[in-house]
Amino acid sequence: MAATVLRSLTKLGRPSTKLILNNNLLSPGCAIVQNRQKQWQPDVEWTEQFAGAVMYPTAINEKWTPPPWNDKDAPAEKDVSNLTINFGPQHPAAHGVLRLVLELSGESVKKCDPHIGLLHRGTEKLIEYKTYLQALPYFDRLDYVSMMCNEQAYSLAVEKLLNIQAPPRAQWIRVLYGEMTRILNHIMGVTTHALDIGAMTPFFWMFEEREKMFEFYERVSGARMHAAYVRPGGVHQDLPVGLMDDIYEWCKNFSIRIDEVEEMLTNNRIWKNRTVDIGVISAEDALNYGFSGVMLRGSGIKWDLRKSQPYDKYDEVEFDIPIGSKGDCYDRYLCRVEEMRQSLRIMHQALNKMPEGEIKVDDAKIAPPKRSEMKTSMESLIHHFKLYTEGYQVPPGSTYTAVEAPKVRPHHISAGLDKMSKGHMLADVVAIIGKEVIIDQESRFRRAILEYKNMNFVLSLFSFFFF
């Protein structure tokens, strides 16, 4: 059989195939076939393509050759520069045109450089060409969330220059609507901050209450936001019939809404993880940066102008000043929630102590006369015409007027952003900004300095309100 296999392989043209038989290891009738091919050798034509000079290792080409791996010596570390990104001015969490130039090391913030002034509209220059009454609506638009507080500061400054005082009923109305404006502001601050972090429900719950307060604005002034209601010498018009009863009913029910929001946020694990120990600012740093308002009270400083330097009728109401202990975002949240409760307390007292009487000063050169008088008195008609065409004259001098509005000085907050955000993650910057409630338009205007020197009207608004 072996001869038959050999002959068949030879016929197939495989002369190099060798047949090996081992009768000792294999059973009878078995065979092993191994293929022994001839080793390949390159031909001359194929080797000619590699002809030429040979590159030997030199000092020039050795630097491009990676060194052999050595597990005993650690590789040299490369210097990696930090990443610089722009947070805003078109960022949804910036709540406006705030721009932050952030220097990041991975996800950690190493430096924060705020850029403000992108919403500058030349308000201080526009007011120079207006009368004192015509300048009032500009202050509604400086902080579109704290409208009547802006009007109140401006009106108090003008009244100080004129050496007049609003009637008691007008002062109580200012206190009532000032605290309502504070609640409007804190609702916006707390709920939009929660929305930025991921909690949507408080936003919709509290904005329903905010709409009710806008109705109170509209009933007393005719406008939902930019009311121009608080004016030098008093307020624009008296409260309509039934409004005080409706405000009283709303105050009783709003405290329930605050409890519902606190039930969702205050002890929520996710909320505390995003706010506790985030954006910490000590009491010393808060004073050095010039913080005020909630930012100062959240760091443990008990300072409120309604207590320390009362104006209007704040010296006749009782309320407490909430303060924090750590100065983080969580403390500032708790301060705002408690301030809403204290504002309700003040509103109850204002409703109970509201007296009868006039709502404007009895001076035809400052406050417009009644329409009934204009129909019978030529002097009243002349005063009305002169008041709205030329305005009233303010004696030379300057004044500084401060009110406790719902926010802190925005330009001081911008300076403190670097301190508060350093070392935190990029996602924590959203939580820090949300708890500061920065309005970009007011970042150029706070602290009212009214000057009327050498019979030239100059209105300087460098940082309009002392918050």
- The answer on pLDDT for 341 being more than 90 is yes
> What is the four-CA torsion angle of 373, 379, 384, 386, rounded to 10 degrees?
180
Nearest residue to 166 (alpha-carbon basis) of 155, 150, 153, 151: 155
pTM: 0.75
Counting DSSP H helices and E strands in the chain, the numbers are 18, 10
Q: pLDDT per residue over 65-102, tens digit each?
A: 666 676 677 666 777 788 888 887 776 666 667 788 88
The residue with greater pLDDT, 261 or 403, is 261
pLDDT number for residue 178: 93
202 CB contacts (<8 Å, ≥6 apart)? 190, 191, 194, 195, 261, 264, 265
- The answer on pLDDT for 457 being more than 60 is no
**Any idea which of 92-106, 173-187, 272-286, 323-337 has the lowest mean pLDDT?**
92-106
Q: pLDDT per residue over 120-167, tens digit each?
A: 778 888 888 888 888 898 888 888 888 898 899 999 999 999 999 999
- When mean pLDDT is compared over 97-101, 293-297, 420-424, the highest value belongs to 293-297
pLDDT number for residue 67: 67
pLDDT number for residue 412: 52
Q: pLDDT per residue over 15-69, tens digit each?
A: 444 444 444 444 444 545 455 566 777 788 887 877 776 666 667 666 776 666 7
β-sheet bridge partners, residue 449: 400, 460
DSSP string, 275-333: HTTSS---HHHHHHTT--THHHHTTT----HHHHS--TTGGG--------SS-SHHHHH
84-362+394-461 domain in CATH 3.90.1260.10?
A: no
Q: pLDDT per residue over 240-285, tens digit each?
A: 999 999 999 999 999 999 999 999 999 999 999 999 998 888 899 8
Provide φ and ψ at 106, rounded to 5°.
75, -120
For the chain, what is the mean pLDDT?
Answer: 79
pLDDT number for residue 16: 44
pLDDT number for residue 465: 33
H-helix or E-strand spanning residue 263: helix 243-265
Provide φ and ψ at 403, rounded to 5°.
-130, 160
d(CA 316, CA 311): 10
Q: Where are the strands (E) in 41-187, listed by range?
A: 83-87, 99-105, 108-115
Nearest residue to 388 (alpha-carbon basis) of 368, 359, 362: 368
pLDDT number for residue 288: 86
